Amino acid sequence: MPSREEITYFGAGPALLPTDVLKTAAEALVNFEDTGLGLAEHSHRSELATNIINTAKADLAKYIDIPDDYEILFMQGGGSGQFSATVYNLVGIWVERRRQKIIKELGTAEGADVPQDKVLERLRKAVEEELKIDYLVTGSWSLKASQEAARLLGPEHVNVAADARKVNDGKFGKIPEEKDWKLSKDPAMVYYCDNETVDGVEFPGFPEILKPSGEEGPIVVADMSSNILSRRIPVRNFSVIFFGAQKNLGSAGITVVIIKKKLLPPAVSTPEPALLRKLGLPVGPIVFSYETIAKNNSLYNTLNIFDVYIAGQVLKKALASFSDNVTGQEALSDKKAKLIYATLDAHPESYKVVPDKSVRSRMNICFRVTHGDSIADAEKAFLAGATKKGLTGLKGHRSVGGIRASNYNSISLEGAEKLAAYIDEFAKGPRI
C-alpha cells in the first residue's frame, strides 16, 4: 500500500488537502485545545465556535482582499444549493425594488394614499413581462444553474444570454465573444461560472461588458467553487460570489457566500412571502435566506464548525506561505498549469487538449489521449501507468470521459512536474 507521501491526487473534488492541515484537524477532532471534547462535539453556539468563524472570515478577507462593504456567509447545500439560493434572494430584491418604484410613481400621480390593489396589478404585470435572470452557459455547471432557475421560476423568466455550445459544434469548450451576448435590459442578476470543472473552461478575467459604470452596474453573480483562492479577483465588480469549500478551501460541507452589504437589510428590503405567493413566485427555504444567515453570523442553524476550522487552517497556511497573499498563489498556479499544458502541446500526436486555448482552465486540465488506434485503450493505459507512479484521480468526469488533472492549490509544483514528466514519458513510449 502506498503512503500518503507517495501519492499526488488530482481529483476534481473533494480535493487533496495539505497533510499538515489534516494532522492539526485530526488532533482537534479528538481534543480541541485541551477542552476534553473534539471540535465536532462543541456547540455551534459556543464562544470558541464564534471565534473560529470570525477568524476564518477575517483571514479570507485578508487573503483575497474583500472590501469592508461585503459580508461573508458560511452556508450549507454546496454550490448546487446556491443555484437555488441566488434565485430566491435576488429575485426577491428585484421584486421589492420594482414595488417601491411603482409606489413612487403612483404616489406622484395619485397622492400619498396609494391603492395596494393597483400596486399589485402593476407589479404582477412587471413580473410577467420584465422579470429575467441572465445566464452565461459555458459548461455543465452553469447549465445546471440555468436549469434550476427555469425549474423554480419558469423558463420564460430565464434568459440564456450566451450558450457556448452554439459556437463550438454543440459542445462546451469555448466562451462566446462578448459582442454576441444577449443580455437583458434590467435582469435580477447575471450569472456565470468562473471555472467549469467538467469541461476545463475558465474565464480569462472579468467580462468587460459586465464591468460597473460608476457606482451602478448589473448584479453579477459568480460561481467560483473551483478557482477561488487561486488568483486575484476584482471583488467590487461582483454582487455575489459563492464557492463550495472542497476544491481550494477545505473539506466538503460548507459553502462560502461573499455578498455586497447593499443587498442585505437594512440597505435593502425583502418582500413578504405573502406577496411572492400572490405573484406566483417561489418562497425560498429560510436556510437559503442571505438576510437570515447574515443576521445570525452564519449560525441560524447548526453549522459544521469542524469544516470551518479546516478552511481556517488552510487560509492560515496560505497566508504564511505567500507574503503577497493570493498574488503569490496565482503565480504558482499559473506556473503549474503552463508546465502541464506545454508538455501536452509538445506531443500533438499523443494528446488533444479539449477546450480552446483561449479559455483553458488553470484548475482543471482536460485532455484526450490519442496515442494509438483506440482512444479508449490509450486512456486506460495512461491511467494505469499514472497510478503506478502515484499520480491518481486523473479520470475525466463521467459525462465527458477523457483525462482531467485538477491543478488545485494543494497540488505542489513538484506534483505538477511529476505529472508533466509522465505525460512526456507516455508520449514517447510504444503506441497502444
Task: For the full predicted model, state whether its pTM sits above 0.75.
Answer: yes
Q: How many helices (H) and strands (E) does the chain have?
A: 11, 14
Put the strands of the sheet holding 351-353 in their side by side order. Answer: 351-353, 364-369, 403-406
Dist CA 117 CA 123 (whole Å): 10
In the chain, which segments carry CATH 3.40.640.10?
59-307
Q: Residue 432's pLDDT is what?
A: 76
Q: Residue 112's pLDDT is what?
A: 63
In the chain, which segments carry CATH 3.90.1150.10?
326-428
Q: Residue 111's pLDDT is what?
A: 52
Residues found in the chain? 432
Q: Residue 170's pLDDT is what?
A: 97
Q: Domain 59-307 classified CATH 3.20.80.10?
A: no
Dist CA 74 CA 84 (whole Å): 16
Q: Which residues of the chain have pLDDT under 50?
A: none
Dist CA 119 CA 117 (whole Å): 5
Give me the CATH topology for the region 326-428: Aspartate Aminotransferase, domain 1 (3.90.1150)
pLDDT digits (tens, 9 = 90+) for 327-350: 999 999 999 999 999 999 999 999
- Residue in 411, 422, 421 with CA at minimum distance from that of residue 386: 422
CB 157 within 8 A of CB 132: yes
